[in-house]
Amino acid sequence: MNNTTTALIAEDETLLAEHLRAELARLWPELEVVAQAPHGAAAVEQALALRPDIVFLDIRMPGMGGLEAAQAIGEDWPEGSPPPLLVFVTAYDQYALQAFEQAAVDYLLKPVQPERLAQTCARLRAALAQRSSPAGSEGVEHALAQLRTLLAAPGLGAAAGSPSRLSVIQAGNGSAIHLVPIAEVIYFEAADKYVRVITAEREHLIRTSLRELLPQLDPDRFWQVHRGTVVRADAIATALRDEAGKITLTLRGHAERLTVSRLYASRFKPM
């Protein structure tokens, strides 16, 4: 069995990616960088195919950014093994960096400094050693819990601070604007550049992203169950778990069923 530690670098600026790769080779010669991805979608594809131990993710990349890529990797990672350790490369300010620290994932500021990268390598070695200890499925859940914390952390979403909560969704339809009370929304679903707003009576489209919408929703009332789906909690009738552990939700007032990703499966436990 190959015990080599492997890593993937996701960075759209080639020179920065090559600089990081060269510094890693100098500081951690045993680390094998198995691929470089120029954008988030490629990072997800290569991470799932190559299953590296570590993924370095640039926060801002064309299309899918580092946070979205991390969420996709966490959701689609094969069952039974911990997702890779994530290191974010960012130009965010100190306020946002506190969110990374609270989530117990490491980060590197651009331009990456050798001294700081050496600290990151030491942290990664320690984390990998801890993972190799007999923790069983606890290691998987711990990794997913860190990612959930990161995705919910203040300062990393589209709207920093404490945005006001939406009470009405304004959905345009030609020359008309439909005012949809938030209490009537059963679930939201990402659809390309739009979000589908599903009520018992009809469907609306709003031109926004789910990431922009999420901070404006009450998290106790609207639960994210998949990277592309947010459902009103009191509209959930049952959470059905199959033999493989996959959870499917049935809804009140709507026939469609929703799939829960394993990133959010821990939310559904009997009281």
Q: Is the pLDDT of residue 39 over 60?
A: yes
Cα distance between residue 251 and residue 232, in whole Å? 9
CA atoms within 13 A on the CB side of 50: 22
Cα distance between residue 15 and residue 269, in whole Å? 47
Give the domain 6-152 fold: Rossmann fold (3.40.50)
Task: Tell me the per-residue pLDDT of 120-134, one tens digit each, with 9 for 90 and over.
Answer: 999 999 888 887 665
Which regions of the chain carry the CATH code 3.40.50.2300?
6-152
Q: What is the pTM of this model?
A: 0.76
φ, ψ for residue 176, nearest 5 deg: -100, 150
Element (H, E) at 240: strand 236-241
Task: Tell me the per-residue pLDDT of 124-161, one tens digit each, with 9 for 90 and over.
Answer: 998 888 876 655 445 566 677 777 777 766 556 544 45
Residue with tokens 């331009």: 111
> 3-state DSSP call for residue 229?
strand
Closest C-alpha among 59, 114, 64, 60 to residue 87: 59
CATH superfamily of 168-267: LytTr DNA-binding domain (2.40.50.1020)
